[in-house]
Structure 1
């Protein structure tokens, strides 16, 4: 079964909109785990517009499943991750002012840089994953960075799914096969939702984990958080 990690950035966004502590981020994380999610993901950005660096510290003592921190490994992010020591760190090449992640790493051009960063995280006992586009060349080059896993950036799949699911998923199947051949673990995330997740799971070999935030929280507004998480788990089983 593919594991579901819930990104709680949008919960933090809602909290920050009014100040105070409503909704309670830590309680929500615990509830999400109790509803059956196998992981909690956060993506702190330098401006702390949603997840704050202190949230990462506070969540460390709360999360009982897999704790995944993702972000661009600038100095402040790297220091935070090495302090908190989550089970997994996912490296994403997003600019400080990016609204959301919008591209994977060029693992050829950034080979040396990624290798050095990943080595520091792995020495601390943290499993590493790097965000990549569905390009077999980028996947194969990711192997040489020393990463444990890759996370396939699935926005193009989500956009193409309504018109032609098979065409949309084909590049991801090829990338997944390249990952398996290289001995890399495989995660995926970005714009996956209740409509497109089952087909993706069925078509992608070796899919270990999906990280879903924005769509899941939007769906939960109508369906309820517990029900939505269970619907995802059913589609991933």
Structure 2
């Protein structure tokens, strides 16, 4: 079954807008787990604009489900993840000038950096994933780094879905198939929502985890957090079984 990891960055953004501890990030994390999500994702950026490094340490003490930490492998980030030893680290090229992640790595240009970083993480038993644009030619270079997974950046898929969903899905399908050939599992994340996630799941082979934050938290304003999580889980489950029955055709 495809796992749902809930990204809590948006909760931290709301808290930071006013200061203090409302909404309480730790309580939300406890509730997200209680309501059925299989994992928690956070992305502490160097400027700590939403999730802070302290948040990550605090969350580690109360999480019982999978913990996925995303980020750029600067010295401060590497110290954090090697202190915490999360279940998974997703390496993301989170450039300082962007509001949110808007591209994946070029594993050809950054082969040495990614290989050295992943070696350190795997020495500590941490599963590794590389945030990647949907481009099949990149996949063999990811495999050379020693990574366990790719995370497909789905921002462009989300933009194209409304008008050209058949066109926009093709590079994702081809990249996922190339991942299978190179013995890599596939995660996906960025701007996934209740409208587009089913189509993605039905078309992407080897998909094992989706990370959803902005849309899920936004939906929870109308639906309530528990109902939002359950709705996403049901959508993921029904889409997965439909894909399985049709073999992605």
**TM category, shorter:** over 0.9
Which residue of structure 2 lines up, in the alignment, with residue 163 of structure 1?
163
2:227 is aligned to 227
Asked whether the equivalents of residues 45 and 94 of structure 2 are also in contact (C-alpha less than 8 Å), the reply is no
1:48 alignment counterpart: 48
In structure 2, list runs of 5 or more residues that go unmatched. 238-249
- Aligned residue in 2 for 1:20: 20
1:146 aligns with 2:146: yes
How many aligned positions are there?
237
How far the C-alpha of 1:97 sits from its partner, in A, is 3.3
Is 1:93 matched up with 2:90?
no
* SS across alignment from 1:80: helix
- 2:33 is aligned to 33
Secondary structure of the residue that 1:163 maps to in structure 2?
A: helix
**TM-score, normalized by length of structure 1?**
0.98
State the shift of 1:141 in Å. Answer: 1.0
Residue by residue over 1:169-227, the C-alpha shift from the partner in whole angstroms, topping out at 9 and shown as x without a partner, is 11100000000110001100001101000110011111000001111111111111111
- Counterpart of 1:176? 176
Q: Which stretches of structure 1, 4 residues or longer, exceed 4 Å deviation after superposition?
A: none
Give the Cα separation in 2 of the matches to 1:97 and 1:214. Answer: 19
TM-score, normalising length from structure 2?
Answer: 0.94
Partner of 2:210: 210
How far does the alpha carbon of each residue in 1:111-159 deviate from its partner, in whole angstroms, 9 at most, with x for none? 1110000000110111000000000011121000100111000011101
- Structure 2 counterpart SS, 1:235: helix
Structure 1 residue 96, shift from structure 2 partner = 2.2
- Once the two structures are superposed, what CA deviation does each residue of 1:15-65 show, in whole Å capped at 9, x if it has no partner? 111111111101100100111100000000111111010111011111111
| Unaligned stretches of 5+ residues in structure 1 | none
Equivalent residue of 2:49, what SS?
coil
Rounded to whole Å, the distance in 2 between the matches of 1:100 and 1:139 is 23
* Equivalent residues of 2:4, 2:211 under 8 A apart: yes
Q: Are residue 82 (structure 1) and residue 75 (structure 2) matched?
A: no
- Give deviations 1:49-107, integer Å, cap 9, x for gaps: 11010111011111111000001111101111111111000000111232110111001
For residues 35 and 170 of structure 1, the distance between their equivalents in structure 2, rounded to whole angstroms, comes to 34
**Secondary structure, aligned partner of 1:113:** helix
Rounded to whole Å, the distance in 2 between the matches of 1:164 and 1:111 is 33
Distance, in Å, in 2 between the alignment partners of 1:204 and 1:180 is 11
User: 1:164: Cα distance to partner?
Assistant: 2.1
**1-structure distance, mates of 2:113, 2:51:** 26
